[in-house]
Amino acid sequence: MPDPFDSLLRPLGLSRPFGLLRDAAWTAEQLGRSALGQERLRVAVTGLSRSGKTVFITSLLANLLAAGQGRRVLPALEAASGGRLRDVRLVPAVAQTVPRFDLPGHLAALAADPPAWPGRTEDLSTVELTLTLERSSWIGGGLLGRRTVTLELLDYPGEWLLDLPMLSQDYAAWSAATLDRLRREPRASACAAFLSFVDALPAAAPAEEALARRGYTLYRDALRACRDDLGMRLLQPGRALNPGPRGEAPILWFFPLPHPDDSGLSDLLRQRFDAYLADQRENFFEPYFRRFRRQAVLVDVLGALHAGQAAFEDTADALAAIAAALREEESWLDRLLGVGPERVAFAATKADHVPSRQRDALAALLDSLVGTAPGTPSSVHVIASVRCTEDDVATLEGRPVAAVRGVLLENGRSARVYPGEVPLRPPEPGYWQHGFFRMPEFQPPRLDPAGTAGVPHIGLDTLLARLIGDLL
């Protein structure tokens, strides 16, 4: 059940009392580390599903390790640090309770014959790096020696981030908004079985476990069809799609109702909804999300364009909800104590799937989807965590057009691909009638399994310079 302190203190911008003490202690620890030249920076990496989170972290780690060995693989980050980076090392896992990000396994997949993309994120995982830097002044360097920054990365399923906008809703508001989306095509067809079930429920349906479980199962299956068959992203609750290691616990067994009240089945589902949000806040957002000072949010904008108008508009809605929640969730006291994200970087992934001249348009499109508002500072980037293509020129109706060349995933053959034009802003209805954009799947280049030479990328260094460069 929700903590009664939350309902009293959160409207004032206050956390629960014990959480407040933890926040203050955490902030004091960070200040002490900074004074000793042993800063610790936590960065969370998430994104809408299938946006390439695992590949992003793999490339980031490999390139930082290579940069620590003197290789110029992250020039923008090198410039942001003033060329003071001297060494980068992985921190041993010791006895941590959260799973460790499997860097060797993911590099091995990219080094296989043929190379393969790592699997999707299914649970929390972390990894830490220690960056050793020269101090910015010779006086400080002479007296105190080099300084270190411990960079902790958190990888978590993108589906879970979609629960963040739910924290500001009650069960009735969430039900109304969710059912409104489900009743619109093409979702309505994919969700027909669930909608028939929920519309047939009597107004005073009893609080029967079998009835609640049946409704949840139909709702979960409808969400899966929307994600896997239609490319939808604004699907809640996130753990219905990716429950994590705890599996489908009874706290998940709720679904939206057309006219919720305070009796019978409706009351049972409302209690579970409230308990789920309290659990997410206590066990995920509070201990993990609020302790991360920087946040990277990855978005497969190109994949959404390729999936069609409904999928693209749904991705836009999901991204707008996330961006608003990231800006609004932080209270004035959070800012005073130095908890919660200080910077958020939104990145359109797979930028190598379009030629270089199209990437400014991709950045403008993502920027229009994220929007601007007061709150946590954010930036927009276009990246390819692993670059799979080179620019080329194709012929379309007798005229040359910018294209890309790479090895196709489906057959292993090199091909020249003209993907189409990326619009500068969300497309008008006429855009979708002509199939202006196609999304090829490319095979990754085979990499060194040790990752010592770094990973070819686009824009990763610029994103890192914006996200962490000020602390280097």
Question: What's the pLDDT tens digit per position in 286-323?
Answer: 777 667 788 898 999 999 988 889 999 999 999 888 87
Query: Does 53 score more than 80 pLDDT?
Result: yes
Q: How far apart are CA 469 and CA 175, in angstroms?
A: 42
What is the per-residue pLDDT for 328? 61
Compute the C-alpha angle 469/64/293, nearest 5°. Answer: 45
333: pLDDT strictly greater than 50 = no
Q: Which residues belong to CATH 3.40.50.300 in the chain?
A: 37-156+288-386+445-471
Separation of alpha carbons 300 and 357, rounded Å: 18
**CA-to-CA distance for 106 and 198, rounded, in angstroms?**
43
Q: Which residue has the higher pLDDT, 64 or 10?
A: 64
Strand pairing partners for 366? Answer: none
- CA geometry: angle 455, 456, 462, nearest 5 deg: 100
Q: Assess whether pLDDT exceeds 90 at residue 5.
A: no
Average pLDDT estimate for 250-260? 94
Question: Which of 13-27, 92-106, 211-225 has the largest mean confidence?
Answer: 211-225
* 133-176: pLDDT as tens digits: 998 765 555 555 789 999 999 888 888 888 988 988 999 999 99
Residue 137: predicted pLDDT: 60
SS (H, E, C) 362-424: HHHHHHHHHCCCCCCCEEEEECECCCCCEEEEEEECCEEEEEEEEEECCCCCEEEECCECCCC
* Of the candidates 117, 55, 134, 113, the residue with the CA atom closest to the CA atom of residue 349: 55
Q: How confident is the model at residue 397 (pLDDT cuts 50, 70, 90)?
A: confident
pLDDT surpassing 50 at residue 2: no
Closest by CA to 40, choosing from 156, 155, 147, 139, is 147
pLDDT (tens digit per residue) in 453-472: 899 999 999 999 999 998 88
* Class of the domain covering 37-156+288-386+445-471: alpha beta
Supply the DSSP string of 53-117, one letter for each residue. Answer: HHHHHHHHHHHHHHHHTT--S-HHHHHHTTT-EEEEEEPP-TT-SSPBP-HHHHHHHHTSSS--P
User: Which pLDDT score is estimated for 144?
Assistant: 58
**Residue 36 pLDDT class (50, 70, 90 cuts):** very low
CA distance 132 to 147: 6
The single-letter code of the amino acid at 23 is D
Q: What is the mean pLDDT of residues 15-19?
A: 48
* DSSP letter, residue 284: I
- Which bin fits 374, alpha (ψ -120 to 50), beta or left (φ > 0)? beta
**Helices (H) then strands (E): counts for the chain:** 18, 10
Check residue 372 and give its pLDDT: 62
Tokens of 98: 């959260």
Asked whether the predicted pLDDT for residue 64 surpasses 60, the reply is yes
**pLDDT top residue among 98 and 226:** 226
